Amino acid sequence: MRHDHLITSKQFSRADIETVLDYAAEIDADPSAVADRHAGTLLGLLFFEPSTRTKMSFETAMKRLGGDVVDMGSIESSSVKKGETLADTVRVIEGYADALVLRHPKEGAATMASEFVDVPLVNAGDGAGQHPTQTMLDLYTIRENAGLDDLTIGIMGDLKYGRTVHSLAYALTNFDAHQHFISPESLQLPREVVYDLHQQDAPGIREHDSLEEILPSLDVLYVTRIQRERFPDENEYQKVAGEYQIDSDTLEAASDDLTIMHPLPRVDEIAPEIDETEHAAYFEQAHNGVPVRMALLDLLLSDDKAIGGEGDE
């Protein structure tokens, strides 16, 4: 078994991404070909924050590869409630499982936890930090709908606390995508992320406070929820709540081929009237989590395959 950890999308080279996306497409076309590949393998699920898509699609992916999961369950029902540290929790559960998937409210938690275990540990979201497996399914969805070459993408909403945004922005530097970031000033991308993107020689990094000026040129619009739970002050959330809502009036200025994505859950960022249009790709995006996570798990758990560099970021 390989012992690589998957912590950040900064680990992904273009070749890694293409390997995962190509393999996910193969699995999507014929899931039965890998149905017994990991019979007997157990995946440990440690979710210290709520999740529907990430947790259930990892569980589905492991079961579709022939394995099963062991789930720590809610914080309330686990010994985290008694004050057990994250380091102790992961050290215990690595004895029960062949790989671990961790979601935690603290940025950096996955990096820290990975230093205490030998089995592969996958970051399923660490606070406002990173969510690299979401990025893989986002890239898969972009490739299916708009292509990854010569891409112009708008990324809109909560860019400060949105971990899916941070992960996606780094990964897109592998493809020289033109990235337009649209947000209120208070929710702009963290300056260190902007700095890093410029250091990667990303060709078109632009920040905007309005969608209007940039919408007609976009191939993809990636909308995000304002992450209420991460605001230190509820009054600050109320100042920006409800900004940037997409409805059919908004889309009059968009290209007919515009693909609209959202990592979900949504609150009120995208009106339900968009769901039945050709633009909407967000439910397809969520469904893509299964073949993409099957591909990632197989690559992480197999001796003969490798992705993500040394995996010790």
Rounded Cα distance between 64 and 192, Å, is 39
Whether 277 is a known active-site residue: answer no
Q: Are 81 and 105 contacting, i.e. CB atoms less than 8 angstroms apart?
A: no
Query: What is the rounded (10 degree) CA torsion for 154, 10, 229, 236?
Result: -60
Residue ranges with strand state E in 127-229: 152-156, 178-182, 204-208, 220-223
Whether 55 is a known active-site residue: answer no
Whether 103 is a known active-site residue: answer yes
Pick the catalytic residue: 64, 131, 163, 180? 131
Rounded Cα distance between 251 and 216, Å, is 9
Token duo for residue 249: 């009036």
Least distance from ligand CP to the Cβ atom of residue 201, Å: 29
Rounded Cα distance between 268 and 272, Å, is 9
Selected binder of ligand CP within 11, 54, 114, 224 (CB under 6 A):
54
Selected binder of ligand CP within 51, 60, 200, 250 (CB under 6 A):
51
Residues 249-268 that bind ligand CP (CB under 6 A): 263-265
Which one, 2 or 263, has the nearer CB to ligand CP? 263
Residues 131-160 that bind ligand CP (CB under 6 A): 134
Rounded Cα distance between 32 and 274, Å, is 34
Selected binder of ligand CP within 22, 39, 52, 73 (CB under 6 A):
52
For residues 5 to 44, the per-residue mask of contacts with ligand CP, x marking binding by CB under 6 A and - elsewhere, is: ----------------------------------------
Contact stretch for ligand CP (CB under 6 A) within 51-59, 69-77, 105-113, 237-245: 51-59
Whether 164 is a known active-site residue: answer no
Pick the catalytic residue: 53, 91, 228, 287? 53
**Going by C-beta distance under 8 Å and a sequence separation of 6 or more, which residues neighbour residue 280?**
260, 270, 274
For residues 80 to 119, the per-residue mask of contacts with ligand CP, x marking binding by CB under 6 A and - elsewhere, is: ----------------------------------------
Q: How far is CA 72 from CA 79, 120, 179, 294, in A?
A: 9, 17, 38, 21
Least distance from ligand CP to the Cβ atom of residue 71, Å: 14
Pick the catalytic residue: 2, 8, 38, 54? 54
Whether 53 is a known active-site residue: answer yes
Least distance from ligand CP to the Cβ atom of residue 83, Å: 26
Q: Is 160 helix (H, G, I), strand (E, B) or coil?
A: coil
**Going by C-beta distance under 8 Å and a sequence separation of 6 or more, which residues neighbour residue 222?**
138, 153, 154, 155, 156, 165, 168, 261, 262
| Chain positions contacting ligand CP, by CB under 6 A | 51-54, 125, 134, 263-265
Catalytic residue positions, numbered: 53-54, 82, 103, 131
